[in-house]
Chains A and B, each alone.
Chain A
Amino acid sequence: MSLHLDIAFSHLRSRRRQTVVSLLGVVLGVAFFLAVSALMRGSELDLVARLVDTAPHITVYDEYREARPQPARLLWPEGAVAIRGVKPKAERRGIRQYRRKLQTIDAIRGTQAAPVLVSQAIFSFAGRDEAVTLSGIEPARMKGVSTIDEDIVAGSLDAVDTNPNGIIIGRALARKLSLEMGDTVSVVSPTGNVRAMKIVGLFETGNAGYDEGQTFAQLTRVQALMNRPNVANLIVVRMQDAYAARTAAAFIERSLGYKSVSWQEASKDLLDALTVRNVIMYTVVGAILLVACFGIYNVISTVVLEKTRDIAILKSMGFHARDIRLIFVIEGAVIGIGGSLLGMAMGSGMMRAVEQVEIKPPGSTESITLPIYWGIDQFALAAAFAILSAVFAAWLPARKGGRVQPVDILRGAA
């Protein structure tokens, strides 16, 4: 092996300029591969992180994914049963005995869950009526599953516990209705109940629709207001490992029966779009790298042609075709590995540089930096791809070199 290495290096040295050029090709290919994929993956992770941060990881709804099977079907599973005009039984919706169900979810490792009763309500203040979403929450549990606590700009989430008549609204809504902390507002429920509630907190998430339309009050208060005691209609779950949400959601759905939607399922269209984007990106940067590696094909072909005489000598001496192929494949691999190492160094430099760039999006006051993904996997992918293409590019001329018959060369030269 060291003999093959020596011969391989002697060939590369004899074609120094061409070797350097093909090496540069691989270096640039790997560097751009890394820079582009780091930026794309970085922005993807950034996007997903925002998604995972703001949306609940799993939402358990008070509904079923499949309509309940009809008794006739259960009785004659193989029978030709056709049922038309089914009218679902009018039942009170909602997750009953949600405490027990919360315990089931809490038992899953790394999860926190909070019950919510979401309903519509009308705010009545100073002669104006405003439709809002009213969510009944348990502040202690809510803090574990939502970032709303961090968005509170006045008062606190716990205030709804200390003052059962307290309500927390968005700052945008407060501004719209000229409300301030401590003001009292009439809240009308769809069932017709009216209750005066006091503003004990303001929040601001930056999402205009949310800040204008969302309000929070204590769960039991909302249950009373909606005439739905002991009922929640959502269970919101947050997980330590957001990527475990899919399996956890499936488990919850199996054990509770209620439809449980992971964030991945909820954002499926977005995630699909990201996958498509990744496929396109990797195809393009991979193609660039492949083209770069065909510089290697160029050098090795030249060396094989130029060293035909040496190949004949080695084979007449007793080298096998395999030895000759190995020598040229080593040459390709050396350029591939060298190019990958230098390319990774250069790519890291480019990624550092891109990371320093600050951009001020129009209409925003704070500047943002481009997100860069530093994962080892893309380095491994770039290097593996470069080295494999290099070996493949070298393999073609190497095969030709292995087929050289010494007699043919000797007859030609003598």
Chain B
Amino acid sequence: MNAAPPPERASPAGREAPRSSVLVAERLTRRLEGEVPVTLVEEADVQIGRGEFVVIRGPSGSGKSSLLYLLGLLDRPTSGRLLLEGEDTSGFDEDRLADVRLAKLGFVFQFHFLLNEFSALDNVMMPMRRLGRLDADARRERGLRILRDLGLAGHEHKRPSQLSGGQRQRVAIARALANDPVIVLADEPTGALDTKSSGNVRDILRELASGQDRSIIAVTHDLHFASAADRQIEIVDGRIVPTGTMATLEAAAAAAKAAGTQTGAAPAS
């Protein structure tokens, strides 16, 4: 493993000098129409700088994943707009969005989501083959190098079913990096991993941001994971709230709970 332990960054989240933004979301809103309309994300303003490692946190069901899908061009906002490297993506059709995802974005999901019939290397080479920018030899070389950098040397030709959970997640990261994306988006990338593997994945993402000038947006519940980020975005009920709100809420909830047990208000059964 050559991912160096993340250097401690002095600047606290969100308060550093503005870098050039690769991704700018303006008043992003996503509503699901139905019998009972649900607002997943409301008026979210987000700016992601180049090489920035941003973590999205929030209670379960608060809309973290929904926001990530919007930022990753997997979903379209009901209103608001999203600029990727200065380009407004509002008017893009499905195919154009797919092309942008292919060339500029990489995804890592909670469950590795590899294609089970293909080896680790083939999974990593798949986005490169679809993009067709590199020839077969270059693709192979690049795939092997990314896997090696992520500590997967010797596992290139194994199927996902022959790998451990942590290894699979690293293969998924390798695949996300295949086309040298501007932004890597990860939805609870360590959610299914044990402490050791999840520390490993965190270090890798950290290194990607600081070492390769790649922006990382990761959704997480893991406080330890979140502490490695440059900045944290907190979201409650689909709205972005000032950093620290979560801690306040949690403290209040804990206090209420403690008070509840003390007064014996819990329903007797």
Interface residues of A (CB under 8 A from B): 2-3, 6-7, 10-11, 13-14, 309-310, 312-323, 406-407, 410-411, 413-414
Shortest beta-carbon distance from B116 to chain A in Å:
8
Q: Is the CB of A318 within 8 A of B69?
A: no
What are 27 A-B interface contacts by the 8 Å CB criterion? A3-B129, A3-B130, A7-B115, A10-B115, A10-B118, A13-B117, A310-B115, A312-B113, A313-B113, A313-B114, A313-B115, A314-B115, A317-B101, A317-B130, A318-B99, A318-B100, A318-B103, A318-B131, A319-B98, A320-B95, A406-B74, A410-B65, A410-B69, A410-B109, A413-B111, A414-B110, A414-B188
In the assembled complex, the Cα of A310 lies from the Cα of B126 at a distance in Å of: 12
> With A317-B102, A323-B130 given, can you name 13 additional A-B contacts, CB distance below 8 Å?
A6-B118, A10-B117, A13-B117, A310-B115, A317-B126, A318-B127, A319-B98, A321-B94, A407-B69, A410-B74, A413-B111, A414-B187, A414-B188
- 8 Å CB contacts to A: which residues of B60-112? 65, 69, 72, 74-75, 94-95, 98-103, 107, 109-111
B130 x A319 contact (CB < 8 A):
yes
Could you tell me if A316 and B94 are in contact, using CB atoms closer than 8 angstroms? no
Chain A residues whose CB sits within 8 angstroms of the CB of B187 once the complex forms:
410, 414
CB of B145 to closest CB in A, whole Å: 20
User: Using Cβ atoms and an 8 Å threshold, which residues of chain A touch B115?
Assistant: 7, 10, 310, 313-314
Which 10 pairs show the lowest CB-CB distances between chains A and B? A318-B102, A10-B117, A3-B129, A318-B101, A407-B75, A320-B95, A318-B98, A313-B113, A407-B74, A407-B69
Q: For the complex formed, measure the closest distance between the CB of A291 and the CB atoms of chain B, giving whole angstroms.
A: 30
The chain A residue sitting closest to B127, CB to CB, is A317
Measured CB to CB, the closest approach of chain B to A271, in angstroms, equals 54
Quote the shortest CB–CB distance from B219 to chain A (angstroms): 10
Give Cα distance in the complex from A13 to B69, angstroms.
32
Determine which residue in A11, A317, A320 has the highest number of CB atoms from chain B within 10 A of its CB, and name it.
A317
Q: What residue in chain A is nearest B66 (Cβ atoms)?
A: A411
Contact B74 A3 (CB under 8 A): no
* Chain A residue at minimum C-beta to C-beta distance from B219: A414
A313 to B116: give the CA distance in the assembly, Å.
Answer: 12
- Chain B nearest CB from A34 CB (Å) reads 35
Instruction: Give the residues in chain B near A313, CB-CB below 8 Å.
Output: 113-115
Bound CA–CA A318/B175 (angstroms): 12
Least CB distance, A20 to chain B, in whole angstroms: 17
Interface size, B (range): 20 to 34
State the CA gap A6–B129 with chains docked (Å): 11
Assembly CA distance A323 to B129 (angstroms) = 13
Taking a contact as CB atoms closer than 8 A, the residue among B95, B99, B101, B122 that contacts A316 in the complex is B101
Could you say which residues of chain A place their CB within 8 Å of the CB of B127?
Answer: 317-318
CA separation between A2 and B132, bound complex, in Å? 11
In the bound complex, how far is the Cα of B72 from the Cα of A406, in angstroms? 12
Give chain A nearest CB distance to B29 CB in angstroms.
16
- A309 to B117, alpha carbons, bound, how many Å? 13
| Chain A, residue nearest B175 (CB) | A317
Residue of B nearest to A406 (CB): B74
Contact A309:B113 (CB < 8 A) given known A318-B103, A323-B130: yes
Asked if B94 contacts A318 (CB within 8 A), the reply is: no
- Nearest A-chain residue to B179, judged by Cβ: A318
Chain B, residues 37-81, CB within 8 Å of chain A (1/0): the string is: 000000000000000000000000000010001001011000000
Give Cα distance in the complex from A74 to B229, angstroms: 105
Q: Closest A-chain residue to B68, C-beta based?
A: A410
Q: Which residues of the partner chain B approach A315 to less than 8 Å between Cβ atoms?
A: 98
CB contact between B117 and one of A14, A316, A319, A321 (< 8 Å): that residue: A14
Interface residues in B122-147 by Cβ distance below 8 A to A read 122, 126-127, 129-131
In the bound complex, residues from chain A placing their C-beta under 8 Å from that of B101 are 316-318
Residues of chain A contacted by B95 (CB below 8 angstroms): 320-322
Which residues from chain B contact A7 at a C-beta distance below 8 Å?
Answer: 115
Taken together as a complex, chains A and B put the C-alpha atoms of A321 and B102 apart, in Å, by: 14
Chain A residues with CB under 8 A of B131: 318
Measured between alpha carbons, how far is A318 from B188 in the docked complex, in Å? Answer: 21
B108 to chain A, nearest CB (A): 11
A317-B74 contact given A10-B118, A407-B69, CB 8 Å threshold: no
CB atoms of B118 and A316 under 8 A apart? no
Measured between beta carbons, the chain A residues less than 8 angstroms from B74 are 316, 406-407, 410
| CB pair B117 A317 closer than 8 Å | no
| Shortest CB distance B129–A (Å) | 4
A10 to chain B, nearest CB (A): 4
Counting chain A CB atoms within 10 Å of each CB, which of B99, B115, B131 scores highest? B115
Residues from chain B with a CB closer than 8 A to the CB of A310 are: 115
The CA of A406 and the CA of B98, in the complex, are separated in Å by: 11
A contact residues around B94 at 8 Å (CB):
320-321
Task: List residues of chain B with CB within 8 A of the CB of A407.
Answer: 69, 74-75
Chain B residues near A319 (CB-CB < 8 A): 98, 102, 130
Contact (A318, B111) CB under 8 Å given A10-B118, A407-B74, A414-B65: no
* A313–B103 alpha-carbon span in the complex (Å): 15
List B contacts of A314 (CB < 8 A).
115, 126
Nearest CB to that of B105 among chain A residues? A318
Instruction: List chain A residues, Cβ under 8 A from B129.
Output: 2-3
Contact with A along B232-249 (1 / 0, CB 8 A): 000000000000000000
Most chain B beta-carbon contacts within 10 A, residue among A312, A313, A314, A406:
A313
Q: Which residues of B contact A316 (CB under 8 A)?
A: 72, 74, 101, 107
Closest B residue to A413 using CB positions: B111
Bound complex: CA A318 to CA B109 (Å)? 15
In the complex, what distance in Å separates the CA atom of A407 from the CA atom of B115? 18
Residue contact B126 to A3, C-beta cutoff 8 Å? yes
With a cutoff of 8 Å between Cβ atoms, the chain A residues found around residue B103 in the complex are 318
8 A Cβ contacts from B163-193 to A: 175, 187-188
CB-nearest residue of chain B to A2: B129
CA distance A10 to B123 in the complex (A): 12
B62 to chain A, nearest CB (A): 13
CA A3 to CA B130, docked complex, whole Å:
7
- B residues in contact with A414, CB < 8 Å: 65, 109-110, 187-188
